[in-house]
Structure 1
């Protein structure tokens, strides 16, 4: 009988295919331009009213979020915070707190004022891995 030599079985080793960086990073200057254009056009002639301001905050945040999502920032969650209040010679402090990756996460802020209202809008681009 003939003897067969058994060859060792080859095992293929693949490198990980996960992606650590996005293809299109959150570009703060472009987001700032979008934010200024939308906020200034929407709030230019608005007067304070307790009935319309809550709905205005929601629609403004949704319009900003959809406009920024059209930029197709890869692997980023877009978070929009809109605060609108009546101007009555008061001061306002807004504070947000997040766990933050300084290399990948970013934010843009815009403040708006007319003679009736003030608005503070913050857009966060938080990287998803």
Structure 2
């Protein structure tokens, strides 16, 4: 039942078109963070844990700054030593393909590689 003074009740079950998680925009955010924090950085197994946490915190902070209402973010960062070998990564998610999405970017230099992925999940 609605109160005439409050107007009709409305429930948001989908984000507005302009407030959807856009992978291309998010990829640009990830790319900027990786360039800023890994530029001329050398691989160090001792620093990899703190560096990956710093990168994920920075990406998450910038995503929150985009003001995409009701989105929850999951950021995963993997840093490894560049040895000329291949690495494969995968993920699986159970989500609403209309509202939820992800973006990723890769940074490489002579000594390290970094893969960062950001998942945006709409909270109903």
Give the TM-score range, shorter chain.
Answer: 0.7 to 0.9
- Higher RCO structure (Cα 8 Å, ≥6 apart): 2
Provide the residue aligned with 1:100 in structure 2. 95
Q: Which runs of 5+ in 2 are unaligned?
A: 3-7
Deviation larger for 19-28 or 115-124 = 19-28
Is 1:82 paired with 2:77?
yes
Structure with a larger share of its residues in helix: 2
Of 104, 118, 121, which aligns to 1:123? 118
1:112 lines up with 2:107 in the alignment: yes
Alignment length, in residue pairs? 117
| In structure 2, C-alpha distance between the alignment counterparts of 1:93 and 1:106, rounded to whole Å | 20
TM-score (ref. length: structure 2): 0.88
In the other structure, the counterpart of 1:19 is 12
Q: Following TM superposition, by how much is the alpha carbon of 1:26 offset from its aligned partner in structure 2, in angstroms?
A: 1.1
Would you say 1:45 and 2:71 are equivalent positions? no
- Cα distance in structure 1, aligned partners of 2:27 and 2:92: 20
User: Which segment is superposed worse, 23-32 or 85-94?
Assistant: 23-32
1:65 maps to 60
List gaps (5 residues or longer) in structure 1. Answer: 1-12
Cα deviation for residue 59 of structure 1 reads: 0.7
1:16 Cα deviation after fit: 5.1
Aligned-residue offset at 1:32: 1.5
- Runs (4 or more) in structure 1 with deviation over 3 Å come to 13-16
Following the alignment from structure 2 to structure 1, what is the Cα–Cα distance between the partners of residues 22 and 87?
A: 28
SS at match of 2:46: coil
CA distance in 2 between counterparts of 1:96 and 1:21 reads 24
